[in-house]
Each structure stands twice: as C-alpha cells, then as structure tokens.
Amino acid sequence: MAILDAEIQNIKYFGPAAAKKFAKLNIKTVGDLLYHFPFRYDDFSSFTPIAELQFNSQATVRGTILSAKNINIFKRRMTLTEAVIEDESGAIKSVWFNQPYLLNQFKSGRQINISGKVSLNKKRHCFSNPAYEFVSKEPLHTGRLVPVYPETHGLTSRWLRLGIKPLLRFANQIADILPDDLKKTYHLPNLEYALSQIHFPETLENAELAKKRFAFEELFILQLFMAMERLKLQKQNAPAIKFDEGMAKKFVASLSFNLTDDQKKSAWQIIQDIQQNKPMNRLLEGNVGSGKTIVAAMAAYFAALSDYQTAFMAPTEILSRQHYEKIWPLLNNFGIKVGLLTSSEAKISGNKISKKEFTGKIAAGEIPIVIGTHSLIQKNVDFKNLALVIIDEQHRFGVNQRAALTRRKTTIPHLLSMSATPIPRTLGLTIWGDLDLSIIEEMPKGRKNIITKIAPPAERDKVYEFIKSEIKKGRQAFIVCPLIEESETLAVKAVKKEYERLQKEIFPELKIGLLHGRLKPKEKEKVMSEFLVQNLDILITTSVVEVGIDVSNATVMMVEGADRFGLASLYQFRGRVGRSEHQSYCFLLTDSPSEKTNERLKAIETAQSGFDLAEKDLEMRGPGDFIGVRQSGLPDLAIASLTDAKLIGETREAAKKILRESPNLKNYPLLANKVLEFQNRIHFE
C-alpha cells in the first residue's frame, strides 16, 4: 500500500508543481489519482482511410509523416506546427497551435495515429489540433476508446493518461473490499480489472461494468453506514411516552380545523414510535403549508402529558417564533406551558422572563415544551427529562448540532425531523436511509391552487399593476430578488437597489419593507413583525424568505430572476402565499431565452404536488445539484447513481445480508475500515 499512499509531489512524473494543480481536484496521493475516473470516452478505435474522411466527423487515421514545419505568424504572435500525413489512399494536413516543440518529434518517415474532428482549410480536409500518437507506443490517446477526465488549468486529459497508465500496475496492491460472494451474486468484476477498464477500457461494455462496480461499492458503503447507525440506535434506550386516546380526542376537538388523512396517518406513526423504549428516528416530510407543525405539536403534547420535556428547534428566530405563536395558545388550553428561547428573548406562554430564570425552569423540568433556535444547544441549557427532540428543516443543521440536542447518559430522546423540501422517494431512501419516513402530501381542505405564471420582462409592469390591485383589496405581496447587492458580472435584480427603485418609482404610495440575510437578527424580526401585522404592503426580500414564514394575508409572490433558483426553492417561495381562503398568485420573471430554462419553469407552473415537482427537478438537474451533495463527500459515480432504484435496492439488500452475518463487521475488517473512513468524510448538511 506504500505506493498508493505516496503523495503526488513525490512521484517523478508529477512533482511539486503538479501537486498544487492536483489539489484543486482534491487529489493528494497516488490512490486518489487512481480513483479519479473519466467522465466520458472518445471512440477513436476505428481507423478511416484518409480518402474516405468526411467533413465535421470525428475520425482516426494511421499514416506516415511526409513532412513537417513550423510557421510563425508574427501579427497574431502565433506559431503553427504543420505536418502532412499519408496513407495508401491519400494525404492530409494537420495543424497544431503554439506547440513549436512538436517539430522535434514529427520526423519524416515516422508512423503516427491522428484522432480528431475533420475540418476544412481552403476547401481541403484537414485536422486542427488533433490528438496524436506514434505507432511504436501502446495507444493511449488514439486508436482506442480514449478516456476524458475532469480537468483543471494545467492538467489536461492527455497528461493525466500518461501519468495514470504506469500507476495501474500497482492496482493489485489495493485490497478489494467487496466480498467474493457479493461480487458473484451481483456480477461485479474484481478491483484490479475494474480499475484498468474504467481508465482504459477495451469496450464500452467493459467501461460500464467497471462504473457499475464502483457505483455499487460507494452506495453499498453508504447503505452499510446507514444500517449500522440504525442498529446502533436500536440498542439504546429512550423514554416510553404514553398514549391516551381520550386526551388525543380532546386535542383534536380543540383544533379550529379538521386534520387531513395524511396528518392523521403521520401522527399515528409517530405516536406508535414514541410509545416504544427504543428511540424514534423519523423524518416528517410535507408540502409547504400541509400542517406538519400540528402533527409535531401533538407528539409534544403527549410527551408533556407523560411528564417529559420536548425541545423543538428551528433554524431561524422568525421560524421559531412562528412555531411558538401557533403552539402555545393551543396547549395553553390544557395547562401545558410552552417556552420560546432565542438569542434575543425568552418567553413562557406569552410572558417574557429573563434568560437566567428561563434556563433554571428548563433544568427544573417546569417548561414541558421549549421552542428555539441554536440557543437550545448552548452549554447552559440543560433539560431535566428530555424525551422528544423535534428539528424543523433538519437538513439545515449539522450532525454535531443534532448530537448536542440528543446527548444523554442512560437514555436518549426520540428524534422527529421535519422538512418542507420534497425529496424524491428514491433519493430520500438513500440520503436519509437511517430514518423512517412519514409523508404529508394532502393539503388542508379549503385551500385554493396557487395560480402560477411565467412572465417575460415585457410583462413586469402588468405584474406591478396586479400587485397594486391586490393591495387595494387589503392583501399583501412578496417580491424576491436573487442578490443583495448589484453584481458586475450577473445581470439580475439586487434587493437593495430594487427596494429603492420600487419605493420611489413604482409603489410610492405603498409601505414597503426590506429583508435580507445581512440584516441583524433584531432588524429582521422588526421587518417581519411589521409585515405580519400588516403595517407593510410589500416585502422585498432575498431567498431568506424561503423557510417557513407564514403570512396568511399575502396573496402575491413575484420572483425576479426565477431561472437563478432551483425548482425546490421556487416551490418554497410559492408556498409563502396561498395559506388562507384567498386566491393567491405566483409570478416567475426571467430574462433567460433558454428553452431548457423555460421548460424547467413550466414544470412549476403546472405542478401542485411538491413531490412530483421534486421528481422533475431531479430529472432535469441531476441528484448532485438537487440536494447539494456535490460537497457531501460522495464521489460523482455514486451521486449519478442516486436515482438508480435497482442499484439502490441491490446495495440495501447486500448491506442487510452482510450485517445479518456480522453486525459489527468483525468478519469484514476491510469493510469496517471503509465505513469508518466514509463516516469521517461524509456530510449531507
């Protein structure tokens, strides 16, 4: 293994200068380089007689160099290296730009392969900057399937091919972590063969088989990790929260609305989980405005009835206060105290108190339900008998933060995560494979579908007039911009400039508020409070409005530069309106002429289900961009396979089988080490 751990800078072919370039590709060792896979292959495996070459086609020819020369073009400060290559059928000229050193290699009489696109020069066929290779050598760049790698400045695929090829002889030193019976069951090649065929495949079928093997390996390790986390959790103890049917009926009867069937089903799944003395680890996923908060409040209600505490954590003060304002009046009817703790305030059931007194009451167990931001994981916040942790928009919190909320010596609390970002089921099962899943797709009765329209720049004034008409009816509007400050490189609306323009030129008679991420927490709170109590008609904002702001009186959402946002974000923006009986509208403004962009935006124009939309977004953008796992530590092959339901199913079954045989992987030390390595580098937040 020594050669594989060797740093790139210590390899003669590369050296320290190359090491800096490789660092940009996150390649530090020989082992890293061998796992730097091609993203496509150029098929230069078939030779074409020169006389049969077709304009604009990709082709490979084999011939003899007749002549070669350098031509200096002083006006353009350019050197052309020109060579004439001949085979039995004819001759063709090839030209290379600013590579005068090639002349030393292009000796008359040498046999050469040329691969590239056939172009025209003075009505004659020629090659411009083609790949070349002398016939005496084993072909790497021509006359075969040629690997094309992810590159960076100064690291070309040609250079990488020359560097990787000699290193493949060390592939037999890498331990193959996949057990033999597993490779046999799923028809996977061994590691040494897979490495050689993914870099320099003999056929495209061989390349695909090698890709499948490495995608399987990465997903398999992911599934093992998830399954082991679940097994670890099942060995721990959690407080068993009692279910009281009579009190459940009283809670439901106290609501001013009827629960949907999906809400009832999700609530029952959660109630069944928290009755056990094994910790719940469940994700509650639901469309924007589908009523996840009430389902979570019901679980907290039962915990309080059993004399336990609940910590309810949200990513922003606005969202924390919103949950608090919904939940405390509801549970106040049952004599259950609800607290709010953020960096700026502490409240218990509507009354402000000092933070010191508040944390004392938490420690004494006097506040059954505590809602807050990151403030809940401060060292001075200590719960007496925490039994349930609820985390909203759970992907916005890191692993360490979740662990801090669930720290306990003898028992750990049940964990309910919530997300309004719909994730396609296949992807969800993979990324959140250690969680059970409850889904609320059904919307509360009486809600009207939000009318959504794509508006070109020419219709911007019409949208402004429509906003004015809605405000005359007593309604409110959001206007979202992609940037805070103006950009010299991006021609998109910036929220500060737009706020000034709209207030002065378009809506001088209306009250407009400004909200963005650089405002101090108290400033944000003030603006949102003003909007909530209808002291503002329009809120000009950035994507900070995406998460959880509930203003039932707002009926118009206008998104500038809609093409700059993913469908999931646009869906969240749209969900800020349509939260009452009033008809609501969403206008997506874009300057982009791209058909692909318009096709993507049309998906949200017609979609009513966030889950259907998520599937469409996944199909269009790919799993890496959809959930941001490009930075997760997962290799590209694994990311690309996150939508392969068959492969995901196979890797799940394989992981279950291995863990049935050896729950701690003691019989599989190579796998155990790989899972540990995976755990250290993976992060889905």
For residue 188, what are the contacts with CB-CB under 8 A and spacing of at least 6?
178, 182, 194, 209, 212, 213, 216
The span from the CA of 3 to the CA of 31, in Å, is 8
pLDDT over 90 percentage in the chain: 49
**Is residue 315 pLDDT above 50, yes or no?**
yes
Using pLDDT thresholds of 50, 70 and 90, give the confidence band for residue 69: very high
Residue with the larger pLDDT of the pair 270 and 44: 270
Amino acid letter, residue 413: P
pLDDT score at 632: 46
**Is residue 340 pLDDT above 80, yes or no?**
yes
Nearest CA to 393 among 529, 259, 569?
569
**Is residue 430 pLDDT above 70, yes or no?**
no
Rounded mean pLDDT, 635-652: 72
Which of 110-114, 381-385, 526-530, 617-621 is least confident? Answer: 617-621
The span from the CA of 102 to the CA of 163, in Å, is 19
Which of 100-109, 203-212, 287-296, 481-490 is least confident? Answer: 481-490
Q: What is the pLDDT of residues 455-467, one digit of tens each?
A: 988 899 999 999 9
Nearest CA to 44 among 142, 156, 139?
142
The span from the CA of 73 to the CA of 414, in Å, is 74
pLDDT score at 597: 75
**Is residue 105 pLDDT above 60, yes or no?**
yes
**Is residue 629 pLDDT above 50, yes or no?**
no
Which of 94-98, 199-203, 315-319, 433-437 is least confident? Answer: 433-437
pLDDT score at 501: 92
Using pLDDT thresholds of 50, 70 and 90, give the confidence band for residue 226: confident
Mapping DSSP to helix (H, G, I), strand (E, B) and coil, where does residue 221 land? helix
The span from the CA of 398 to the CA of 144, in Å, is 46
The span from the CA of 85 to the CA of 81, in Å, is 13
Which of 45-54, 242-251, 438-447 is least confident? Answer: 438-447
Rounded mean pLDDT, 174-194: 95
Rounded mean pLDDT, 109-126: 91
pLDDT score at 617: 67
Q: What is the pLDDT of residues 345-360, one digit of tens each?
A: 899 998 999 999 999 9
Q: Are strands 281-286 and 386-392 parallel, antiparallel or unpaired?
A: unpaired
Rank 44-58, 177-191, 575-589 by mean pLDDT and report only the highest: 177-191
Using pLDDT thresholds of 50, 70 and 90, give the confidence band for residue 685: very low
Rounded mean pLDDT, 562-591: 86
Q: What is the pLDDT of residues 277-306, one digit of tens each?
A: 999 988 888 877 788 999 999 999 999 999
Q: Which residue has the tokens 């002291």?
A: 535
**Is residue 619 pLDDT above 50, yes or no?**
yes
Which of 102-111, 210-219, 330-339, 438-447 is least confident? Answer: 438-447
Q: Which residue has the tokens 């929220």?
A: 495
Radius of gyration of the chain (CA): 31
Q: What is the pLDDT of residues 491-514, one digit of tens each?
A: 567 788 889 999 999 999 999 999
pLDDT score at 543: 80
Cβ-in-10-Å burial (0-12, 13-18, 19+) of 82 comes to middle
Q: Which residue has the tokens 């008609």?
A: 537
| Contact predicate 392/311, CB 8 Å | no
The span from the CA of 683 to the CA of 561, in Å, is 30
pLDDT score at 463: 96
Where do the domains of the chain lie, and which CATH numbers do they carry? 46-143 (2.40.50.140), 245-440 (3.40.50.300), 451-607 (3.40.50.300)
Mean residue pLDDT across the chain: 85
For 218, 230, 439, the CA distances from 682, given in Å and listed in that order, are 11, 17, 26
Q: What sign does the dihedral 509-510-515-521 (CA atoms) show?
A: positive
For residue 399, what are the contacts with CB-CB under 8 A and spacing of at least 6?
683, 685
The span from the CA of 683 to the CA of 609, in Å, is 28
Question: What separation, in Å, do the N-terminal and C-terminal C-alpha atoms of the chain show?
Answer: 33
pLDDT score at 628: 47
Which of 65-74, 591-600, 635-644 is least confident? Answer: 635-644
Nearest CA to 484 among 496, 492, 466, 502?
496
Q: Are strands 369-372 and 309-313 parallel, antiparallel or unpaired?
A: parallel
Using pLDDT thresholds of 50, 70 and 90, give the confidence band for residue 338: very high
Amino acid letter, residue 241: I
Q: What is the pLDDT of residues 523-550, one digit of tens each?
A: 887 888 899 889 999 999 988 775 556 7
Mapping DSSP to helix (H, G, I), strand (E, B) and coil, where does residue 669 land? helix
HEC-encoded secondary structure of 457-523: HHHHHHHHHHHHHHHHCCCEEEEECCECCCCCCCCCCEHHHHHHHHHHHHCCCCCEEEECCCCCHHH
**Is residue 474 pLDDT above 60, yes or no?**
yes
**b/e map 101-136, b = 16+ CB within 10 Å:** eebeebeeeeebbbbbebeeeeeebbbeebbbbeee
